[in-house]
Chain A
Amino acid sequence: MMTNPTLWNYDLDDACYRVRLMASLSGVTLDLRSVDAFPGNEHLGDEMLALNPLGRLPVLEHGALTLCQTEAILLHLARIGPRGAAFVPSDDAGAARMRDWLFFGARDLAAPSQARAVAMLGAAGDAGALNHAARHGLRLLEDHMTAQGFRGQGFVAGARATVADIALFPAFALCRDFNLDHDAFPALRLWARRVRQLDGFITMPGIPDYH
Chain B
Amino acid sequence: MPQTLNDTAGWAPLALASDIMTATSAGTVWNGDEIVIWRDSAGRVHAWEDRCPHRGMKLSFGFVRGDRIACLYHGWEYDSAAACRYIPAHPELDVPATIRVARYKAVEALGMIWVAPLDQPGPAPVDQTQVNALRSLQVDAPLARLTQVFVTHGLPGLGLVRDVVADGAVIRLTQGAVRLVAGLHPVDDATSMLHIAVEGACTQQALAALVPATAALRRLAETGVAGAA
- In the complex formed, the residue of A with least CB distance to B25 is A189
Query: CB within 8 A of A189: which of B26, B61, B72, B205?
Result: B26
Q: Quick check: is A120 within 8 A (CB to CB) of the other chain?
A: no
Stretch at the interface among B39-47, B123-131, B163-171, B208-216: B208-216
Q: Quick check: is A33 within 8 A (CB to CB) of the other chain?
A: no
Contact B24 A184 (CB under 8 A): no
Please give, as numbers and ranges, the residues of chain B lying within 8 Å of A193 by CB-CB distance. Answer: 21, 24
Contact B27 A181 (CB under 8 A): yes
Q: Quick check: is B101 within 8 A (CB to CB) of the other chain?
A: no
Please give, as numbers and ranges, the residues of chain A lying within 8 Å of B212 by CB-CB distance. Answer: 143
Contact B208 A147 (CB under 8 A): yes
Contact B207 A150 (CB under 8 A): yes
Contact B27 A190 (CB under 8 A): no
Contact B24 A183 (CB under 8 A): no
Query: CB within 8 A of A190: which of B21, B70, B214, B218?
Result: B21
Within 8 A of B (CB), among A174-195: 176, 181-184, 186-187, 189-190, 193
Q: Quick check: is B19 within 8 A (CB to CB) of the other chain?
A: yes
Within 8 A of B (CB), among A127-176: 139, 143, 146-147, 150-152, 176
Given contacts A150-B204, A150-B205, A210-B72, contact A183 B27 (CB under 8 A): yes
Contact B204 A151 (CB under 8 A): yes
Q: DSSP class of B's interface residues: helix, strand, loop or mixed?
A: mixed
Q: Quick check: is A122 within 8 A (CB to CB) of the other chain?
A: no
Contact B135 A210 (CB under 8 A): no
Contact B135 A183 (CB under 8 A): no
Closest CB in chain A relative to B120 CB, distance in Å: 23
- In the complex formed, the residue of A with least CB distance to B28 is A183
Query: CB within 8 A of A186: which of B26, B62, B208?
Result: B26
In angstroms, Cα B205 to Cα A181, docked, is: 30
Contact A186 B72 (CB under 8 A): no
Give the number of residues in A that approach B within 8 Å (Cβ atoms).
19
Closest CB in chain A relative to B137 CB, distance in Å: 9
Q: Quick check: is A208 within 8 A (CB to CB) of the other chain?
A: yes
Given contacts A183-B29, A190-B21, A208-B61, contact A143 B211 (CB under 8 A): yes
Contact B135 A186 (CB under 8 A): yes
In angstroms, Cα B138 to Cα A189, docked, is: 14
Contact A146 B135 (CB under 8 A): yes
Contact B24 A186 (CB under 8 A): no
Interface 1/0s, chain B 11-37, versus A by CB < 8 A? 000011001010010111100000000
Given contacts A186-B16, A186-B26, A190-B21, contact A208 B72 (CB under 8 A): yes
Contact A184 B138 (CB under 8 A): yes
Query: CB within 8 A of A182: which of B26, B70, B193?
Result: B26
Given contacts A151-B208, A182-B26, contact A210 B63 (CB under 8 A): yes
Q: Quick check: is B175 within 8 A (CB to CB) of the other chain?
A: no
In angstroms, Cα B135 to Cα A143, docked, is: 9
In angstroms, Cα B138 to Cα A187, docked, is: 12
- In the complex formed, the residue of B with least CB distance to A186 is B19
Interface core residue of B211, B212, B214 (most chain A CB under 10 Å):
B211
- In the complex formed, the residue of A with least CB distance to B64 is A210
Interface 1/0s, chain B 183-212, versus A by CB < 8 A? 000000000010000000000110110011
Closest CB in chain B relative to A22 CB, distance in Å: 25
Interface 1/0s, chain B 98-141, versus A by CB < 8 A? 00000000000000000000000000000000000001101000
29 residue pairs A–B, Cβ–Cβ below 8 Å: A139-B215, A139-B218, A143-B212, A143-B214, A143-B215, A146-B135, A146-B211, A146-B214, A147-B208, A147-B211, A150-B205, A150-B208, A151-B204, A151-B208, A152-B204, A182-B26, A183-B27, A183-B29, A184-B193, A186-B19, A186-B26, A186-B135, A186-B136, A187-B135, A190-B21, A193-B24, A208-B63, A210-B62, A210-B63
Chain B positions near chain A (C-beta within 8 angstroms): 15-16, 19, 21, 24, 26-29, 61-63, 70, 72, 135-136, 138, 193, 204-205, 207-208, 211-212, 214-215, 218
